Structure 1
Amino acid sequence: MLPAASKNQNASSSGEQPEKEHDYVNAAVWTMNKISPTSNKKCCSFIQPFLPVAVSWVLLLVIIGLRIHYTSVISSNNAKLTVEHEDQMEQIKQLKTRIEQQERRNQQLNTQKQEQEKQNDNFREQIRNVENDVTLSQRVIDAYCPKKENGRRQCEPCQIDWQHNLSSCYEVNDPDPPRRRNWDRAQEDCRGKNSDLVVIVNEDEKVINKV
Protein backbone atom coordinates (compact mmCIF):
# COMPACT_ATOMS: atom_id res chain seq x y z
CA MET A 1 0.00 0.00 0.00
CA LEU A 2 2.89 2.35 0.77
CA PRO A 3 4.50 2.09 -2.61
CA ALA A 4 1.22 2.88 -4.16
CA ALA A 5 0.85 5.92 -2.00
CA SER A 6 4.30 6.97 -2.87
CA LYS A 7 3.50 6.67 -6.48
CA ASN A 8 0.48 8.78 -6.04
CA GLN A 9 2.50 11.44 -4.34
CA ASN A 10 4.97 11.42 -7.12
CA ALA A 11 2.16 11.60 -9.55
CA SER A 12 0.63 14.38 -7.62
CA SER A 13 3.91 16.22 -7.42
CA SER A 14 4.45 15.66 -11.06
CA GLY A 15 0.97 16.92 -11.66
CA GLU A 16 1.57 20.13 -9.74
CA GLN A 17 4.81 20.90 -11.49
CA PRO A 18 3.26 21.58 -14.90
CA GLU A 19 0.71 23.84 -13.23
CA LYS A 20 3.47 25.90 -11.66
CA GLU A 21 5.31 26.06 -14.92
CA HIS A 22 2.12 27.21 -16.56
CA ASP A 23 1.72 29.93 -13.96
CA TYR A 24 5.32 31.00 -14.50
CA VAL A 25 4.82 31.29 -18.20
CA ASN A 26 1.70 33.30 -17.66
CA ALA A 27 3.53 35.52 -15.22
CA ALA A 28 6.32 36.10 -17.70
CA VAL A 29 3.90 37.03 -20.40
CA TRP A 30 2.08 39.36 -18.04
CA THR A 31 5.36 41.00 -17.11
CA MET A 32 6.23 41.63 -20.77
CA ASN A 33 2.84 43.17 -21.41
CA LYS A 34 3.36 45.37 -18.44
CA ILE A 35 6.78 46.65 -19.60
CA SER A 36 5.84 47.44 -23.26
CA PRO A 37 3.63 50.53 -22.58
CA THR A 38 6.33 51.98 -20.37
CA SER A 39 8.98 51.73 -23.12
CA ASN A 40 6.59 53.31 -25.67
CA LYS A 41 5.92 56.19 -23.32
CA LYS A 42 9.62 56.69 -22.84
CA CYS A 43 10.18 56.66 -26.62
CA CYS A 44 7.35 59.13 -27.20
CA SER A 45 8.57 61.32 -24.38
CA PHE A 46 12.02 61.31 -26.02
CA ILE A 47 10.67 62.22 -29.50
CA GLN A 48 8.18 64.90 -28.41
CA PRO A 49 10.77 67.62 -27.55
CA PHE A 50 12.44 67.25 -30.99
CA LEU A 51 9.22 67.09 -33.03
CA PRO A 52 8.67 70.91 -33.27
CA VAL A 53 12.32 71.36 -34.17
CA ALA A 54 12.04 68.72 -36.88
CA VAL A 55 8.85 70.31 -38.23
CA SER A 56 10.52 73.72 -38.15
CA TRP A 57 13.50 72.37 -40.07
CA VAL A 58 11.21 70.75 -42.61
CA LEU A 59 9.28 73.99 -43.04
CA LEU A 60 12.52 75.94 -43.27
CA LEU A 61 13.83 73.59 -45.94
CA VAL A 62 10.54 73.88 -47.84
CA ILE A 63 10.67 77.69 -47.61
CA ILE A 64 14.30 77.75 -48.72
CA GLY A 65 13.49 75.43 -51.61
CA LEU A 66 10.53 77.55 -52.66
CA ARG A 67 12.59 80.71 -52.34
CA ILE A 68 15.37 79.23 -54.45
CA HIS A 69 12.82 78.08 -57.02
CA TYR A 70 11.00 81.41 -57.25
CA THR A 71 14.29 83.29 -57.19
CA SER A 72 15.44 81.19 -60.10
CA VAL A 73 12.16 81.77 -61.94
CA ILE A 74 12.28 85.52 -61.26
CA SER A 75 15.92 85.69 -62.33
CA SER A 76 15.09 83.82 -65.52
CA ASN A 77 12.14 86.13 -66.24
CA ASN A 78 14.28 89.18 -65.49
CA ALA A 79 16.94 87.90 -67.86
CA LYS A 80 14.33 87.39 -70.59
CA LEU A 81 12.86 90.84 -69.96
CA THR A 82 16.33 92.35 -70.05
CA VAL A 83 17.05 90.68 -73.38
CA GLU A 84 13.68 91.80 -74.76
CA HIS A 85 14.30 95.33 -73.49
CA GLU A 86 17.72 95.42 -75.12
CA ASP A 87 16.22 94.13 -78.37
CA GLN A 88 13.51 96.78 -78.25
CA MET A 89 16.07 99.51 -77.52
CA GLU A 90 18.14 98.29 -80.47
CA GLN A 91 15.05 98.36 -82.69
CA ILE A 92 14.25 101.88 -81.48
CA LYS A 93 17.83 102.93 -82.21
CA GLN A 94 17.64 101.48 -85.70
CA LEU A 95 14.28 103.19 -86.31
CA LYS A 96 15.72 106.52 -85.14
CA THR A 97 18.68 106.03 -87.47
CA ARG A 98 16.31 105.30 -90.36
CA ILE A 99 14.22 108.35 -89.51
CA GLU A 100 17.32 110.56 -89.44
CA GLN A 101 18.46 109.13 -92.76
CA GLN A 102 15.01 109.72 -94.25
CA GLU A 103 14.97 113.28 -92.91
CA ARG A 104 18.37 113.91 -94.49
CA ARG A 105 17.08 112.51 -97.76
CA ASN A 106 13.99 114.70 -97.53
CA GLN A 107 16.19 117.71 -96.86
CA GLN A 108 18.35 116.85 -99.84
CA LEU A 109 15.25 116.42 -101.97
CA ASN A 110 13.91 119.77 -100.77
CA THR A 111 17.24 121.39 -101.60
CA GLN A 112 17.22 119.79 -105.03
CA LYS A 113 13.60 120.88 -105.49
CA GLN A 114 14.48 124.47 -104.62
CA GLU A 115 17.44 124.40 -106.99
CA GLN A 116 15.23 122.93 -109.71
CA GLU A 117 12.64 125.62 -109.10
CA LYS A 118 15.34 128.28 -109.41
CA GLN A 119 16.51 126.72 -112.67
CA ASN A 120 12.92 126.61 -113.90
CA ASP A 121 12.49 130.27 -112.98
CA ASN A 122 15.68 131.10 -114.87
CA PHE A 123 14.44 129.12 -117.86
CA ARG A 124 11.09 130.90 -117.71
CA GLU A 125 12.86 134.24 -117.54
CA GLN A 126 15.00 133.30 -120.51
CA ILE A 127 11.91 132.18 -122.40
CA ARG A 128 10.16 135.46 -121.62
CA ASN A 129 13.23 137.39 -122.75
CA VAL A 130 13.40 135.40 -125.97
CA GLU A 131 9.68 135.90 -126.54
CA ASN A 132 10.07 139.63 -125.93
CA ASP A 133 13.00 139.71 -128.33
CA VAL A 134 11.00 137.82 -130.91
CA THR A 135 8.04 140.16 -130.40
CA LEU A 136 10.28 143.20 -130.66
CA SER A 137 11.98 141.80 -133.72
CA GLN A 138 8.61 141.11 -135.28
CA ARG A 139 7.52 144.65 -134.53
CA VAL A 140 10.71 146.00 -136.07
CA ILE A 141 10.18 143.86 -139.12
CA ASP A 142 6.58 144.99 -139.38
CA ALA A 143 7.64 148.60 -138.89
CA TYR A 144 10.54 148.66 -141.34
CA CYS A 145 9.35 145.99 -143.73
CA PRO A 146 5.57 146.19 -143.90
CA LYS A 147 3.64 143.85 -146.08
CA LYS A 148 2.30 145.26 -149.30
CA GLU A 149 -0.96 144.42 -150.98
CA ASN A 150 0.64 141.52 -152.81
CA GLY A 151 1.73 140.03 -149.49
CA ARG A 152 5.38 140.74 -149.97
CA ARG A 153 7.42 142.80 -147.58
CA GLN A 154 9.23 145.91 -148.73
CA CYS A 155 11.79 147.28 -146.32
CA GLU A 156 12.28 151.01 -145.80
CA PRO A 157 15.06 152.86 -143.96
CA CYS A 158 12.56 154.26 -141.44
CA GLN A 159 9.35 153.17 -139.83
CA ILE A 160 6.00 154.19 -141.17
CA ASP A 161 5.26 157.88 -140.50
CA TRP A 162 8.90 158.49 -139.64
CA GLN A 163 11.15 160.90 -141.56
CA HIS A 164 14.50 159.81 -142.91
CA ASN A 165 17.35 162.30 -142.63
CA LEU A 166 20.87 161.21 -143.49
CA SER A 167 21.44 158.04 -141.42
CA SER A 168 18.72 158.62 -138.83
CA CYS A 169 14.97 158.46 -138.63
CA TYR A 170 12.85 161.05 -136.89
CA GLU A 171 9.27 161.22 -135.73
CA VAL A 172 7.98 164.74 -135.29
CA ASN A 173 5.48 165.00 -132.49
CA ASP A 174 3.89 168.42 -132.20
CA PRO A 175 0.46 167.94 -130.56
CA ASP A 176 -1.86 170.66 -129.39
CA PRO A 177 -1.06 172.23 -125.98
CA PRO A 178 -3.64 170.16 -124.06
CA ARG A 179 -2.06 166.93 -125.37
CA ARG A 180 1.56 167.90 -124.92
CA ARG A 181 3.70 165.92 -122.46
CA ASN A 182 6.44 166.98 -120.15
CA TRP A 183 10.05 166.00 -120.73
CA ASP A 184 10.01 162.84 -118.63
CA ARG A 185 6.84 161.44 -120.18
CA ALA A 186 8.02 162.31 -123.69
CA GLN A 187 11.37 160.64 -123.06
CA GLU A 188 9.61 157.55 -121.70
CA ASP A 189 7.46 157.42 -124.84
CA CYS A 190 10.55 157.58 -127.04
CA ARG A 191 12.27 154.81 -125.12
CA GLY A 192 9.21 152.66 -125.64
CA LYS A 193 9.76 153.14 -129.38
CA ASN A 194 13.46 152.27 -129.08
CA SER A 195 14.49 155.85 -129.84
CA ASP A 196 15.86 158.96 -128.18
CA LEU A 197 14.16 162.26 -127.48
CA VAL A 198 15.57 165.18 -129.49
CA VAL A 199 14.98 168.90 -129.41
CA ILE A 200 14.46 171.05 -132.52
CA VAL A 201 16.55 174.13 -132.02
CA ASN A 202 15.16 176.06 -134.97
CA GLU A 203 11.94 175.11 -136.71
CA ASP A 204 13.18 176.74 -139.91
CA GLU A 205 16.21 174.52 -139.99
CA LYS A 206 16.02 171.89 -142.63
CA VAL A 207 18.52 169.67 -140.84
CA ILE A 208 17.25 168.04 -137.63
CA ASN A 209 19.98 167.53 -135.07
CA LYS A 210 19.88 164.57 -132.71
CA VAL A 211 20.84 165.37 -129.16
Structure 2
Amino acid sequence: MNTLLSSLSEGVIEDNEDVNAPVRPEDKAPPDRRLLFSSSSLPLLAVCWILLLLIMGLRIYFSSVISEQNVKLMKENKELKENFTKQITDLEDNWNELNISRAQWTIDSYCPADTSKVRRCSACQRGWDQTQKSCYVFHNSEAPPHPKTWEEARENCRGRGADLVVVHDEEEKNVIDGYIRDLYVSKGYWMGLRVEGGTWKWIDGTNLTDASWIEPPAEGHCAVSLPTRTWTSVKCDEKRTRICSQKALSV
Protein backbone atom coordinates (compact mmCIF):
# COMPACT_ATOMS: atom_id res chain seq x y z
CA MET A 1 0.00 0.00 0.00
CA ASN A 2 2.71 2.41 0.90
CA THR A 3 4.58 1.52 -2.29
CA LEU A 4 1.51 2.32 -4.44
CA LEU A 5 1.03 5.72 -2.79
CA SER A 6 4.67 6.50 -3.29
CA SER A 7 4.44 5.75 -7.03
CA LEU A 8 1.31 7.87 -7.45
CA SER A 9 2.97 10.77 -5.64
CA GLU A 10 5.99 10.63 -7.90
CA GLY A 11 3.76 10.63 -11.00
CA VAL A 12 1.82 13.67 -9.76
CA ILE A 13 5.05 15.53 -9.09
CA GLU A 14 6.35 14.78 -12.56
CA ASP A 15 3.08 15.94 -14.14
CA ASN A 16 3.19 19.15 -12.13
CA GLU A 17 6.72 19.79 -13.28
CA ASP A 18 5.66 19.36 -16.91
CA VAL A 19 2.73 21.73 -16.40
CA ASN A 20 4.85 24.39 -14.74
CA ALA A 21 7.66 24.15 -17.31
CA PRO A 22 7.98 27.22 -19.64
CA VAL A 23 6.37 26.86 -23.10
CA ARG A 24 8.90 27.03 -26.03
CA PRO A 25 7.99 28.62 -29.43
CA GLU A 26 8.53 25.37 -31.24
CA ASP A 27 6.04 23.73 -28.85
CA LYS A 28 3.35 26.31 -29.82
CA ALA A 29 3.95 25.91 -33.60
CA PRO A 30 2.02 23.29 -35.52
CA PRO A 31 3.85 20.03 -35.83
CA ASP A 32 4.55 20.52 -39.58
CA ARG A 33 6.28 23.93 -38.99
CA ARG A 34 8.51 22.94 -36.15
CA LEU A 35 11.24 21.91 -38.56
CA LEU A 36 11.60 25.58 -39.59
CA PHE A 37 12.93 26.36 -36.17
CA SER A 38 15.34 23.46 -36.04
CA SER A 39 18.98 24.43 -36.37
CA SER A 40 19.60 21.87 -39.12
CA SER A 41 17.06 23.51 -41.52
CA LEU A 42 18.36 27.10 -41.28
CA PRO A 43 21.37 26.76 -43.69
CA LEU A 44 19.16 25.20 -46.39
CA LEU A 45 16.63 28.03 -46.05
CA ALA A 46 19.40 30.62 -46.35
CA VAL A 47 20.76 28.98 -49.50
CA CYS A 48 17.29 29.01 -51.07
CA TRP A 49 16.88 32.72 -50.34
CA ILE A 50 20.32 33.47 -51.78
CA LEU A 51 19.54 31.53 -54.96
CA LEU A 52 16.20 33.30 -55.30
CA LEU A 53 17.82 36.71 -54.89
CA LEU A 54 20.55 35.74 -57.38
CA ILE A 55 18.01 34.65 -59.98
CA MET A 56 16.02 37.85 -59.55
CA GLY A 57 19.20 39.92 -59.84
CA LEU A 58 20.29 38.13 -63.02
CA ARG A 59 16.85 38.54 -64.49
CA ILE A 60 16.88 42.27 -63.80
CA TYR A 61 20.42 42.57 -65.23
CA PHE A 62 19.71 40.68 -68.45
CA SER A 63 16.43 42.51 -68.90
CA SER A 64 18.34 45.79 -68.67
CA VAL A 65 21.01 44.58 -71.12
CA ILE A 66 18.41 43.35 -73.61
CA SER A 67 16.53 46.60 -73.34
CA GLU A 68 19.70 48.60 -74.04
CA GLN A 69 20.53 46.37 -77.01
CA ASN A 70 17.02 46.79 -78.41
CA VAL A 71 17.28 50.57 -78.11
CA LYS A 72 20.70 50.51 -79.79
CA LEU A 73 19.45 48.24 -82.56
CA MET A 74 16.41 50.39 -83.20
CA LYS A 75 18.65 53.45 -83.40
CA GLU A 76 20.99 51.72 -85.87
CA ASN A 77 18.05 50.53 -87.97
CA LYS A 78 16.68 54.05 -88.04
CA GLU A 79 20.05 55.44 -89.16
CA LEU A 80 20.39 52.74 -91.83
CA LYS A 81 16.89 53.46 -93.08
CA GLU A 82 17.59 57.19 -93.24
CA ASN A 83 20.89 56.60 -95.08
CA PHE A 84 19.25 54.16 -97.48
CA THR A 85 16.42 56.60 -98.16
CA LYS A 86 18.96 59.35 -98.82
CA GLN A 87 20.90 57.13 -101.20
CA ILE A 88 17.75 56.25 -103.11
CA THR A 89 16.83 59.92 -103.34
CA ASP A 90 20.33 60.78 -104.57
CA LEU A 91 20.19 57.98 -107.14
CA GLU A 92 16.80 59.13 -108.36
CA ASP A 93 18.08 62.70 -108.69
CA ASN A 94 21.21 61.52 -110.51
CA TRP A 95 19.16 59.22 -112.72
CA ASN A 96 16.80 62.04 -113.62
CA GLU A 97 19.73 64.29 -114.43
CA LEU A 98 21.34 61.49 -116.46
CA ASN A 99 18.11 60.87 -118.37
CA ILE A 100 17.79 64.56 -119.14
CA SER A 101 21.40 64.74 -120.29
CA ARG A 102 21.03 61.55 -122.32
CA ALA A 103 17.80 62.77 -123.89
CA GLN A 104 19.48 66.04 -124.83
CA TRP A 105 22.49 64.15 -126.19
CA THR A 106 20.16 61.91 -128.24
CA ILE A 107 18.34 64.90 -129.70
CA ASP A 108 21.62 66.64 -130.55
CA SER A 109 23.05 63.45 -132.05
CA TYR A 110 20.11 62.40 -134.20
CA CYS A 111 18.56 65.82 -134.80
CA PRO A 112 21.42 68.33 -134.96
CA ALA A 113 20.52 71.98 -135.44
CA ASP A 114 21.94 73.90 -138.39
CA THR A 115 23.11 77.51 -138.36
CA SER A 116 19.50 78.71 -138.39
CA LYS A 117 18.78 76.47 -135.36
CA VAL A 118 16.49 74.26 -137.42
CA ARG A 119 16.81 70.60 -136.47
CA ARG A 120 16.98 67.94 -139.15
CA CYS A 121 16.66 64.37 -137.88
CA SER A 122 18.27 61.26 -139.41
CA ALA A 123 18.18 57.53 -138.72
CA CYS A 124 21.81 57.51 -137.50
CA GLN A 125 23.81 59.71 -135.19
CA ARG A 126 25.82 62.53 -136.63
CA GLY A 127 29.06 61.07 -138.02
CA TRP A 128 27.64 57.56 -138.44
CA ASP A 129 27.00 55.87 -141.79
CA GLN A 130 23.75 54.09 -142.56
CA THR A 131 23.51 50.85 -144.51
CA GLN A 132 20.20 49.03 -144.72
CA LYS A 133 18.84 49.05 -141.14
CA SER A 134 22.14 49.63 -139.35
CA CYS A 135 24.40 52.54 -138.47
CA TYR A 136 28.20 52.22 -138.41
CA VAL A 137 31.05 54.31 -137.12
CA PHE A 138 34.66 53.51 -138.05
CA HIS A 139 37.43 54.51 -135.66
CA ASN A 140 40.17 54.73 -138.25
CA SER A 141 43.18 55.93 -136.28
CA GLU A 142 46.18 53.72 -135.51
CA ALA A 143 47.81 56.30 -133.24
CA PRO A 144 47.55 55.77 -129.47
CA PRO A 145 45.33 55.84 -127.50
CA HIS A 146 42.71 54.78 -130.11
CA PRO A 147 43.80 51.15 -130.72
CA LYS A 148 42.36 48.84 -128.06
CA THR A 149 42.10 45.17 -127.19
CA TRP A 150 38.96 43.39 -128.37
CA GLU A 151 37.33 43.68 -124.92
CA GLU A 152 38.28 47.35 -124.61
CA ALA A 153 36.97 48.04 -128.09
CA ARG A 154 33.63 46.44 -127.25
CA GLU A 155 33.32 48.47 -124.05
CA ASN A 156 34.02 51.62 -126.05
CA CYS A 157 31.21 50.79 -128.48
CA ARG A 158 28.83 50.02 -125.62
CA GLY A 159 29.59 53.41 -124.14
CA ARG A 160 28.11 54.87 -127.33
CA GLY A 161 24.92 52.84 -127.05
CA ALA A 162 26.21 50.44 -129.72
CA ASP A 163 28.35 47.29 -130.00
CA LEU A 164 31.00 45.82 -132.26
CA VAL A 165 29.69 45.22 -135.76
CA VAL A 166 27.95 41.94 -136.61
CA VAL A 167 27.89 40.78 -140.26
CA HIS A 168 25.31 38.13 -141.18
CA ASP A 169 25.30 38.04 -144.98
CA GLU A 170 27.47 38.60 -148.03
CA GLU A 171 25.83 41.92 -148.91
CA GLU A 172 26.61 43.45 -145.53
CA LYS A 173 30.15 42.05 -145.66
CA ASN A 174 30.75 43.77 -148.99
CA VAL A 175 29.49 47.07 -147.54
CA ILE A 176 31.82 46.81 -144.54
CA ASP A 177 34.77 45.76 -146.71
CA GLY A 178 34.11 48.73 -149.00
CA TYR A 179 34.20 51.21 -146.11
CA ILE A 180 37.40 49.67 -144.74
CA ARG A 181 39.10 49.88 -148.14
CA ASP A 182 38.39 53.63 -148.26
CA LEU A 183 39.23 54.17 -144.57
CA TYR A 184 42.62 52.50 -144.78
CA VAL A 185 44.10 51.14 -141.55
CA SER A 186 46.89 48.65 -142.10
CA LYS A 187 46.16 46.53 -139.01
CA GLY A 188 42.44 46.39 -139.68
CA TYR A 189 39.32 46.75 -137.52
CA TRP A 190 37.91 44.65 -134.70
CA MET A 191 34.49 43.12 -135.35
CA GLY A 192 32.02 41.42 -133.02
CA LEU A 193 33.35 37.96 -133.89
CA ARG A 194 35.53 35.76 -131.68
CA VAL A 195 36.26 32.10 -130.92
CA GLU A 196 34.12 30.52 -128.22
CA GLY A 197 34.29 26.81 -127.48
CA GLY A 198 36.23 26.12 -130.67
CA THR A 199 33.69 27.96 -132.88
CA TRP A 200 33.58 31.38 -134.49
CA LYS A 201 30.67 33.11 -132.80
CA TRP A 202 29.15 36.58 -133.15
CA ILE A 203 28.43 38.65 -130.04
CA ASP A 204 24.68 38.26 -130.62
CA GLY A 205 25.08 34.50 -129.99
CA THR A 206 24.89 33.32 -133.63
CA ASN A 207 27.59 31.28 -135.35
CA LEU A 208 29.59 32.40 -138.37
CA THR A 209 27.63 31.08 -141.36
CA ASP A 210 30.41 31.13 -143.96
CA ALA A 211 33.67 29.53 -142.81
CA SER A 212 35.46 30.74 -145.97
CA TRP A 213 35.49 34.31 -144.68
CA ILE A 214 38.24 33.60 -142.13
CA GLU A 215 40.76 30.91 -141.15
CA PRO A 216 39.80 28.07 -138.77
CA PRO A 217 39.08 29.08 -135.16
CA ALA A 218 41.82 29.20 -132.53
CA GLU A 219 41.08 29.70 -128.85
CA GLY A 220 41.76 33.25 -127.61
CA HIS A 221 41.44 34.73 -131.09
CA CYS A 222 39.13 37.43 -132.45
CA ALA A 223 38.30 38.54 -135.99
CA VAL A 224 39.79 41.57 -137.74
CA SER A 225 38.58 43.02 -141.06
CA LEU A 226 41.51 44.13 -143.21
CA PRO A 227 41.60 46.81 -145.97
CA THR A 228 42.37 44.02 -148.47
CA ARG A 229 38.68 42.99 -148.13
CA THR A 230 39.71 39.90 -146.19
CA TRP A 231 39.32 38.87 -142.57
CA THR A 232 42.03 37.48 -140.32
CA SER A 233 42.30 35.86 -136.91
CA VAL A 234 44.51 37.49 -134.25
CA LYS A 235 44.86 37.23 -130.48
CA CYS A 236 42.12 39.19 -128.71
CA ASP A 237 44.61 41.04 -126.48
CA GLU A 238 46.32 42.70 -129.44
CA LYS A 239 45.63 46.37 -130.16
CA ARG A 240 43.37 47.33 -133.04
CA THR A 241 40.86 50.02 -133.93
CA ARG A 242 37.16 49.09 -134.23
CA ILE A 243 33.82 49.27 -136.01
CA CYS A 244 30.79 50.08 -133.84
CA SER A 245 27.26 49.36 -135.01
CA GLN A 246 23.69 50.02 -133.87
CA LYS A 247 20.20 49.78 -135.32
CA ALA A 248 19.02 52.72 -137.39
CA LEU A 249 16.02 54.68 -136.14
CA SER A 250 12.78 54.94 -138.08
CA VAL A 251 12.37 58.57 -139.16
Larger RCO, structure (CA 8 Å, separation 6 or more):
2
TM-score normalised over the length of structure 1: 0.43
TM-score normalised over the length of structure 2: 0.37
Which structure is larger by alpha-carbon Rg, 1 or 2?
1
Q: Which has the higher helix share?
A: 1
